[in-house]
Chain A
């Protein structure tokens, strides 16, 4: 893929992203900005795949040497930081890791169940995480700018920042991935996607059981984007008495769920009306529980300099599932890998000690590299597996503490990824995988990533008002030592006069 070929697509494909990708030898790129916690137990699978809190960038970058690919990575993060008005330039050596097991790296190049094969990746994967990054309108505006019709027509017009950022969970991002076209004789290309996920509570806006999409987002969408080939709204029907008006263009069943598909080129998106029956029990409207759910917290008594990370992974299926656990801790949390234990508990209360089938550990370099733990674990059927390891909190220089030092540092989520059984009837496949497989020109590889919560590590702080005093006191003690021992070594005794 080079500039000559891309240039022909710049009426649809965003030019900024294309040029950044070409300049930095990017083979595949994923970027997301998320705020809030996705409640796996209540909301089920995320419509486009989970994201982790904060800003997350990972990309496969090819380069002749390690230094070159590192330079290109830094160029990529800085360029994206400029485009999206985010502080992605803080993704440096000390929060970039290079995963080897997670992110389906090992599955590249294999033939998948559909007829198209997955293109081989030659570049090196780099993953950077900024758990403390906030998401706001300043990030949405450049995101919308990348759309061909921006916010003027089509579904982009629905994105009202007043509604989007008024909620506890919102996430947006882009992804750029190579694909093999099933239509054009297996030609390779790039697929560019942008996604926004938001969880809205109609009650916040004064809406009750009867509202339209336009009322929810407080925007009117009159027309679809003129350059769009297709523009659809898909409604996943809850399993209760809910009416959605008007009648959809067609109904589809994907991943075991009934969906209504509306063609926006023929009808207005803001006119889609939802009517919830009075007898609708909130619980019935719950989404399907995910197959694998993960939560992470930190334990250890309140103060102290040691703690432990505990991740609980729930496997709801009746089959064992192979998952990859990927966790990155910054260098100032010193990981003790010899304390790693994995235990699985089944509903009867039996405890099985597990061992990872593969373990890749990259130790941290102080101020140079985070520590990365990657484990390939087989979760037994119908169990809760708990992964535990200990760490010690390091002590950092007083200039390295953030301005609000006692708040501590956000420690990014752990990522548990697995590939659901692709040749089953599709019940176990989340919606976004089912959607992907039906798309004619994308390659099909379903990887489900589950992100855990983040935690706060508050490091013990020195007294910030004391540099001068500390220097003075310590040097005084040192001078006392030096002076006294020096006297001892160089002076001779003499009898005190007048003592006879």
Chain B
């Protein structure tokens, strides 16, 4: 139940932030991002041996499709005229990264470090700007707040700080996992959509799809976000413009995806498609990670392999449109839900995927009071994250445990994410009910 103190602050702060506040905010953001980037740069430059010894080989942080070691191998092979995608044995990352790092590796190594740190900083700044856009949209639109909302304690600088100082994000950056660049593309796509620039958003989404296959699911909410941003955040009133907007976004997405595909085929042949997209969809490399796929496909009988990979991938991909449609009044939330679904159910997840999801969560702080299972999901996630390295050590390095220990930790981790997703979704639905049917605000409801 909201306290009296919060009600007064609610009354005060429904007006948009003043100019000096915005300046303070900008200053705090700059400090937060600067500190975060300095910390990363410092650790990478001063303690590379500790990072290499303890973190670089962690399978929870780097997967066969995001590993920096494999990226270096791909760059080396292509520099020595050995086709990097030949046979698809070791290198499974996008040719976009190959081209980028072939250029970067000609420069001294500090430039690669700077590129990674800049990418993380970019994601933090973009998340902060999305949060700022959402704040202004919400404060200007009427009828979308409920008395007792926790108002605006997650300012943009707080959002950036929560993303940058999340240990999962830090760990992902220190191992130089290339999921960082996928986050850059996804964050840029969401920001461009929130700012109403649907073509730019579609191009960024195509880049994100090339970098890691699953952001293709985000096309639906991105189209809706950019449509909503046209008429101000909030309800989608103009149906006629909506279908046209979605069609344009999809067309730009397809065109940019196709153009990049043609470019890569010209550079590396069609083998790259088998080595990247097909590889991710068919889960060929069974290296353990924090997802569900690896142990399942290690133990499944060969006859059922095809059936089950179709089932698993469909479970993840089929929810793109339904989730976007259900939450069409808050399409940015739909995008967050899909980022969460991707993080839980993609074929080669890592803690970095969770870090993006957790980074998008503070944008929806008004939902926190509706969430019922926070303690449970927080605990599940903490157990999953904390125990996975311990069980890995027991299995691989010490030999006194077996694979089931690590598998159990990943089950707990995925279940924690699922609980969080479900909780978040039902919190949003409850809130929508509260907004549209004020009479239910103080009464218990159930789902029918």
Contact = CB atoms under 8 A, between A and B. Distances in A.
Interface stretch (A191-199, A317-325, A365-373): A365-373
Nearest to A474: B296
A363 B82 contact: yes
B425 A488 contact: yes
Interface in B382-412: 395-399, 402-404, 407, 411
B379 interface: no
Interface residues of A, number: 56
A464 B76 CA distance: 37
A303 B398 contact: yes
A177 interface: no
B89 A371 contact: yes
Interface in B65-93: 69, 72-73, 75-77, 80, 82, 86-90
Interface string B283-311: 01111100010111111111000000000
Interface residues of B, number: 66
Interface string A378-402: 0000000000000010111111000
A136 interface: no
A499 interface: yes
Contacts of A365: 87-89
B235 interface: no
A460 B396 CA distance: 7
B312 interface: yes
Interface in A447-500: 460-463, 466-467, 470-471, 473-474, 477-478, 480-482, 484-485, 487-489, 491-496, 499-500
Contact of B299 (A361, A467, A487, A496): A467
Interface stretch (B124-132, B145-153, B426-434): B426-434
A394 B287 contact: yes
Contacts of B395: 460
Given A338-B73, A369-B87, A396-B286, A496 B402 contact: no
Interface stretch (B1-9, B239-247, B261-269, B315-323): B315-323
B295 A470 contact: yes
A17 interface: no
Contacts of A336: 69, 72-73, 90
B73 A337 contact: yes
A462 B425 contact: no
Contacts of A484: 418, 421-422
Interface stretch (B16-24, B223-231, B439-447): B439-447
A93 to B, nearest CB: 12
A206 interface: no
A347 interface: no
A139 interface: no
A331 B433 contact: no
10 contacts: A363-B77, A395-B288, A460-B395, A462-B403, A466-B404, A487-B447, A488-B326, A494-B446, A495-B444, A496-B445
Given A303-B396, A303-B397, A361-B77, 6 more contacts: A304-B57, A338-B76, A365-B89, A392-B69, A462-B403, A467-B300
